[in-house]
């Protein structure tokens, strides 16, 4: 007897009111053309303040394949995605954004590669013309900078949209980080990977929730999560500064012995003090980023709290996420 495989779609939602039904119709049309599989669509309401939850409940009442996780507050996209992955029980899991910039038409191709033996199928954007010029350039800079510093290489122009086999999902669930940079965690677990390319379209619903400041903090999170190179750089800079200072001090001593006391030099002394002080502050700031991460991780708080889970035959709440959840 052949057992039908199950595919889980994981979709974080945050203030997507007015676009939930559009997303549901698009997904339903795509899945209707894929035969031989059972599908579940896990929608995570990440503390939305608009009508997102109500619209998700309406969609769930019309289509039993939809499961809704209501988080107790806004925990952020990484936590919401983690919640969806934890609750997914499919043989393969596909995270996808609700804005439909990542084409759901690609799901069929992903499944085909998976059936051929791939454990991870990445969706790579080959055309990001729908994004602003600044966003494209800063994204390219981030990938280049991160992959230079870190031993864990993140595929360039690959977002969260991908297919992961059950074995990959189990590996992800073993990672205990509370502050999660999912792109890095996806890359860290590895496994046999295939890449498919697509052109990124403009958003069909809503507006981006990532401001420039949030993107900067997100990049900082990624770099400090997977590399200690910034600390090493400051060590080398400090060593070079010490060496230069020692050489300059020796030069001053010799010049004073030969030519006597030279009163002028206030400007150069002020510049040296300000430069050294600024360098120390930068070093302390970098050190503080890592100490802050240690502090947050040491609390061992759950990544998210589920207020309620809405699914056929199982409406439960108060769920916490722990690293050994299976």
Q: Specify the CATH number for the domain of residue 195.
A: 3.90.550.10
In a domain, 143, yes or no: no
CB hemisphere CA count around 263 (13 angstroms):
0
The token duo for 256 is 């004073």
Does 140 map to a domain?
Answer: no
Number of domains the chain contains: 2
Q: What angle (nearest 5°) sits at the alpha carbon of residue 240, between those of residues 235 and 242?
A: 95
The reply to whether 44 and 98 lie within a common domain is yes
Residues 78 and 158 in one domain: yes
**Residue 222 belongs to some domain of the structure:** no
Position 321 scores a pLDDT of 41
> What is the token pair recorded at 173?
């669930």
Q: Which structural domain range is residue 262 located in? A: 229-298
Considering the domain architecture, whether residues 200 and 245 belong to the same structural domain is answered as no
Give the pLDDT of residue 324.
Answer: 38
- Residue 196, Cβ neighbours under 10 Å: how many? 16
**Per-residue confidence of the chain (326 residues) as pLDDT tens digits?**
567 888 899 999 888 878 888 888 888 888 888 888 888 999 998 888 888 888 888 888 888 888 899 898 888 888 888 888 888 888 899 998 888 878 888 888 889 898 888 888 988 887 666 566 666 666 667 667 666 666 667 777 777 888 989 998 888 888 877 777 788 788 888 888 888 888 766 555 555 554 455 555 555 565 556 566 666 676 667 767 667 766 776 776 676 666 665 556 655 675 677 677 767 777 777 777 777 777 777 777 788 888 888 876 555 544 444 333 44
- pLDDT value, residue 101: 78
C-alpha 254/C-alpha 321 separation (Å) is 65
110 and 26 part of one domain: yes
Phi, psi of 161 (to 5 degrees): -70, 110
Find the angle CA(316)-CA(317)-CA(322) to the nearest 5 degrees: 110
Specify whether 277 is located in the same domain as 308: no
Q: How far is CA 102 from CA 10, 23, 76, 123, 161, in A?
A: 13, 12, 19, 8, 7
Q: Which residues contact 43 (CB under 8 A, 6 or more apart)?
A: 11, 13, 56, 59, 60, 66, 67, 68, 69, 98
Q: Are residues 276 and 186 in the same domain?
A: no
Question: On the CB side of 226, how many CA atoms lie within 13 Å of its CA?
Answer: 25
Q: What pLDDT was estimated at residue 153?
A: 74
Q: Which of 176, 144, 174 is nearest to 157 (CA)?
A: 144
* pTM score of the predicted model: 0.68
Same domain, yes or no: 47 and 103: yes
Are residues 31 and 113 located together in one domain of the fold? yes
Residues 57 and 78 grouped into a single domain: yes
Q: What's the number of CA atoms in the CB half-sphere (13 Å) around residue 224?
A: 20
Half-sphere exposure of 154 (CA within 13 A, CB side): 29
Q: Which two tokens stand for residue 189?
A: 């677990």
What pLDDT shows up at residue 9? 92
CA 96 to chain centre: 13
Cα–Cα–Cα angle for 299, 303, 307, rounded to 5 degrees: 120
CA distance 132 to 136: 6
DSSP 179: S
Domain presence at residue 217: no
300, 176 contact by CB (below 8 A)? no
Q: Which two tokens stand for residue 237?
A: 């800079």
| Degrees to nearest 5, angle at CA 177 with 172 and 182 | 55
Q: Are residues 124 and 261 in the same domain?
A: no
54 and 118 inside one domain: yes
* Rounded Cα gap, residues 174 and 182, in angstroms: 13
* Residue 75: inside a domain: yes
Confirm whether 196 is domain-assigned.
yes
Q: Is residue 220 situated within a structural domain? A: no
Indicate whether 288 and 308 sit together in one domain: no
Residue 144 lies in a domain: no
């Amino acid at each position: 007897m052949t057992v039908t495989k199950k595919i889980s779609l994981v979709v974080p939602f945050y203030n997507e009111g007015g676009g939930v039904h559009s997303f549901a119709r698009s997904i339903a049309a795509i899945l209707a053309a894929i035969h031989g599989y059972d599908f579940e669509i896990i929608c995570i309401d990440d503390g939305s303040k608009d009508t997102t939850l109500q619209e998700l409940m309406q969609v769930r009442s019309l289509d039993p394949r939809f499961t809704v996780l209501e988080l107790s507050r806004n925990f952020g996209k990484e936590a919401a995605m983690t919640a969806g992955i934890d609750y997914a029980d499919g043989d393969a899991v596909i995270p996808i954004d609700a804005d439909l910039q990542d084409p759901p038409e690609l799901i069929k191709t992903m499944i085909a590669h998976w059936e051929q033996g791939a454990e991870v199928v990445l969706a790579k954007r080959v055309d990001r013309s729908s994004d602003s010029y600044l966003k494209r350039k800063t994204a390219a800079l981030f990938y280049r900078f991160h992959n230079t510093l870190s031993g864990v290489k993140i595929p360039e122009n690959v977002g969260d949209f991908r297919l992961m086999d059950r074995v990959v999902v189990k590996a992800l669930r073993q990672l205990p980080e509370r502050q999660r940079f999912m792109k890095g965690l996806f890359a860290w677990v590895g496994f046999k990977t295939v890449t498919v390319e697509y052109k990124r379209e403009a958003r069909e619903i809503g507006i981006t929730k990532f401001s420039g400041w949030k993107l900067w903090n997100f990049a900082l999170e990624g770099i400090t999560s997977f590399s200690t190179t910034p600390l090493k750089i400051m060590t080398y800079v400090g060593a070079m500064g010490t060496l230069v200072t020692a050489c300059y001090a020796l030069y001053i001593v010799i010049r004073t012995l030969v030519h006597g006391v030279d009163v002028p030099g206030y400007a150069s002394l002020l510049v040296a003090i300000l430069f050294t002080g600024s360098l120390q502050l930068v070093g302390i700031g970098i050190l503080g980023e890592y100490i802050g991460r240690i502090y947050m991780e040491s609390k061992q708080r759950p990544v998210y709290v589920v207020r309620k889970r809405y699914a056929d035959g199982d409406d439960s709440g108060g769920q916490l996420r722990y690293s050994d959840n299976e």
